[in-house]
Amino acid sequence: MSRLSAVLFDRDGTLVVDVPYNGDPDRVRLLPGAAAAVALARAHGLATGVVSNQSGIGRGLLTREQVLRVNERADELLGGLDTWEFCPHTPEAGCACRKPRPGLVHRAAGRLGVPAAECLVIGDIAADVLAARAAGARGVLVPNAATAPAEVARFATESAPDALTAVRAALIEAGVPVGRRTPGPRPDARPRQPWTWPAPADAGTPARPPAPPPDTVPDERARCALPDAVGPAGRRWPQ
């Protein structure tokens, strides 16, 4: 890719060990190289985010608060990412945000203030790569033991053995010198804000954050229908 501004990771099976419908932060375990991949991206000035299907919410197996708490724990272990986006819908809902549709990628790019075309999306199944393609981003498959063999074969030329290798290869392809640098916040990083949880039903409707730039979210169909279907609510919006 000619320009690289952000790296978006799938969560389960890419950054953390996949525990189906996990709502317990204590069960979060990072995959080898995950934290290093995030740190490498940050050390070279890239924005970072997560785009994750969480249909357990729509199936009634998880609450949004449980997903937020799991995300918070993963974020802590990974050293902090800039945005966490998730789709709460089941496949049958036909939403625009569930991967392989592009809604989550567009939403993350909008929140980060970068064009989707300048994003690298890393995931462990075909839906991750296809969502990237649909959004105009670059997708890389990082297969694991659970990845379908047909998907591994299909994306053999768009794959990497792990997330760290995928980030490193994308940086080199974009012409960014990759050396030993101390991980840290991007030079233009916004101040980190505290985690916020969904307000009680009687607490009133919280103010909506500013909309993403129009050039990064082509139309409303590319956005999740539910305003709170993102990661840590209210944490990562550009100021």
The residues annotated as belonging to the active site are: 10, 12
Can you name the residues that pair with 120 across neighbouring β-strands?
7, 138
| H or E segment and range at residue 139 | strand 138-141
CA distance 114 to 106: 10
Answer yes or no: are the C-beta atoms of 8 and 49 closer than 8 Å: yes
Task: Confirm if 50 and 231 have CB atoms less than 8 A apart.
Answer: yes
Ramachandran region of residue 43, left (φ > 0), alpha (ψ -120 to 50) or beta?
alpha
Tokens representing residue 8 in the block: 């978006």
DSSP 8-state code for residue 32: T
What SS3 state is found at 95? coil
Q: What is the DSSP code (8-state) at residue 181?
A: -
Under 8 Å between Cβ of 81 and 106: no
C-alpha distance across the termini of the chain, in Å: 28
Whole-number Å distance between alpha carbons of 12 and 24? 13
CB-CB neighbours of 112 under 10 Å: 26
